Each structure stands twice: as C-alpha cells, then as structure tokens.
Structure 1
Amino acid sequence: MLINEALKAERKKKGLTQQAFSEGICSEGNYSKIESGKQRITANDLFLLLSKNYINYSDFIQKIQTDYCFGKNNNSSEEQLKLQVANAFYSRDVDKLKQLDFQIQNGSFKADLKRESNVLVHIVQKNVSKISPKVKQEYFINLFTVNNWFNDVDKVRLFSNTMNIFDDEELNLLISKFLRQSILFVNGNVYELEIASGTLVNYLYLCYSRRIDENN
C-alpha cells in the first residue's frame, strides 16, 4: 500500500473529512493532492498527521512496507528508511535506530542519509561528543549551504532536533542564517511559523542550558 492510499484508508476508517484529518498540518487543498498521489508528503508532515489522528507509527509503516520494500529501487528504499529512522528517533527506540543505521551505512545510499542517520543515533544514545569531526563538519556545511530550508521542512525539523551537536560559534552562524530565511521565506503560513518558532524555542533552551552548565 502506498503512503497516500494508507492515509486515505486511515481517514476513512475514522470517518473524517480531508479538512478534519489534515487541519493544523496542511491545507485541505494540499492534503487532497497528497491523498490523490499528486503531491509528496514530507516525513515531518506525515508523522504530524499520524500523531494528530492517533495512528500508531509502527502499524502505519507496516502497511506501506510492501510498496516501499528495499530492492525495488534506491529512491523507494531511501524513502522507506527515512520514515523508519524518523519513527525510531521520535520514539527513542535506540536498538531499532542502530539497526537502521547499520543498514544505511552499509548500503548504497546518499551521503546525506548516511550522515543524518549517524547523527541521530549519537543523539539518541546521548553521546554526541563521539560524532566524528568529519561527519559534524559535513553536516554543518550541508545545513549552512541550503538556500531555503523551508523548501524542505524536514531539514528544519532535523536542525531543530540536532542543534546540540554544534558548538556556540557554529550554532550562532546557523541560527543567524535560519532567522534570515524565516524572514524571507515564511509568508504567514501557520505551519511554517510553528516550525520556525519551535526551532527558536529549542535554540533558546539550549543556550540557557549551556549557560547553566557553565555556572555549575
């Protein structure tokens, strides 16, 4: 079952309209395109929809696994892996995340996916100091060189959840660019405003935590 088909099935099972099912996540028009297969859904929006409508992440992924199975083509494999990695990360399933990371690191996947998976594993294991300088530098460059993070809100979400791997100087450079892009590209879209504000809250909390640690 494809993602759009699985979403439609879940919505129908709950007896909800497209508007009620997607309210607060995306517009009814955009969701209609997603459900009809005319528009792709980001991993972040997908998990927000599942969470909002009380749909079990693991059960949902099981439903779509056949059509996104590894070996059909690399794009399908990567989409499936991204979903599984996100599920394991947000549920803090260390063993599952390590298993997926092993599969990613030993497969012929894009460098971005390998790097992000490696970073997330270290964050969940609470040993970010063990992230290799090379991976950290590549990850920083990958984020810093993005022209518009809001073309891919998954990347914003990822930054929000991984900013603690950067030192103060690196983080200040990234957050400055993020603020400039927020001003330029967030044009009243409620969802994007929520993502931007959530990222800034995480940044302020991290700064506060670091100052507290310095004083102790």
Structure 2
Amino acid sequence: MTIGELLRECRVSQNKKQKEFAGEILSPSYYSKVEKGKHKITAKDLISLLIYNQISVKQFFGRLDENYEENQFLEEKLNSLLAQAYFQNDKSKLEEIRQQIKDSCLSSEAKTDQLLYADIFLALMNNSLRDNKKLQDKVREKLFSMDEFDEAKIMLYGNSMRFYSLSDNKIISQSLIRKYRETNNIIIQKYLVSLCVNMLIILIENNDLKDIKLYTNVLEENIDNPDLIFYRSVYLFLINFIKYKNLGEEKYLGKCNKAIEAFRTFEMNAYANELANFLKKYK
C-alpha cells in the first residue's frame, strides 16, 4: 500500500472531504494528487497531516509495512498471554513468554516494547517494581504516551497508578473510561472497575473529592456483576467513607466498619487490616 492509498483510506474512514482532511497543511489540489500518487509529500507535511486528523503516526507508518497485520496479531497475542500469566500468578509462564518474545520475528522496536511489558509484570509479581526507579520511569513514559490500550496495558496501568501524579492519573483514567465504558469484555470491565476503585482511594488520600462522580458512576453500573463481588465490597466501604467525609455523620463510619468486618468474615484479614488503617489515617 502506498502513502497516498493509505491517506485516502484514513480520510474515507473519517468521512471527510479532501479539503477538510488537508486543512491548512496542503492545498486541496496538491493533496488530491498525493492521494493519487502523482505528487510526493514531505515527511514534515505528512506528520502534520496525521496529527491534524488525530491519526497515530506509529500505526500509520506501521501499516506501510507489508508484515504489519501479522506483527500486530503477534503483539496482541503476546500481550494477552502476558496478562493471563500475571493474572494466574504464574511466574514460570511469564519467563517462558519472555523467551518467546526474544525469539520472535517482531521488529526491534516491538520486541523492546514486549520485553518491557514482561519485565514489568515480573517486577509486579516479585513486588520489586516499587524499588526499581528506572523501571518505574519506563512505565510512566511508555504507558502515558500510548495511542491504544489493550488488556495487558490496562492491567499494567492499574498496577502502576502509584507512580503517576494525581493529574496524570485523572487524564489517563478518564480517557480509558471514555473508551471502554461500554465494552462487553468482562476482563476489561474488571480492570476498569479496579481502576475506578484505585482512583477513589487516590482522590481520598489527596482530599480531592470533587472529581469522584465519573468513577462512582462506572462502579454503580458494574457493581451488581457477581464476578466483581470483591470490588462491590470495597466500593461500599469507599462510598460510605466519602459520605462520612462530606457529611460528618457517624452512621457512615459504622457502615465502613461493617465492610471491614465482612472481609474478616471471609478470612481476608490482610485486606481488612489495610482498610482499617486507611480509615484511621484519613478520617
């Protein structure tokens, strides 16, 4: 596929006329000839055109590679395998997938990305990410600049939120909610709910309760799902804690304590203690 053919495909997919797509970057007549392959386009103008029309520069140039679709499929497959291995707490499987990545036919850049994801998952599993400043910086840099998130990347972000500023967390989390709020993928739904719970905790810690509505709405929409019973219990604790902070009524503290006792009943004592300490510190 030529640059002109791919530009036309992108323009048609956005249902734009040539003049609208070209903007002030190229004249309509010149742009028309670029699409037809009769005129060349400079790299600067091409990148400006892509940014103007909100098209991923990386993905655009990737699609010019004849092996693009095959490599995309392999990357998505590896991401899914990494997420599953982490979810199943299978360190040996993670190590095995990491070797598969090293031996794969992916491009050097894609291979570097995939190995980074594998290293992050292994660090999370070994509880060593918090002490690895260099890897934390790579996580922040990589995830914050992503055009697309899949299951593995959403999971990575959810486990890395502590390494971002409050403002960055708001930007990323709200972007993910807008994109995936209507998804039917139960795994992504679970990650989204987990992300919203984490954001409520972060907002409480920063005494910033004015921006909770979006997160509580997402939780309300999903909280009756039986696969998310753990998050329902945490949400009930958090929403009553927020009501106590806003209204100062002791009955909401009582409901928080009932939620903590529920975790103890199910022998989740470590998490019950964590919530009890949170309640004591921030009330």
**TM-score, normalization by structure 2:** 0.40
TM-score (norm: length of structure 1): 0.50
Which has the higher relative contact order, 1 or 2, with Cα contacts under 8 A spaced 6 or more apart?
A: 1
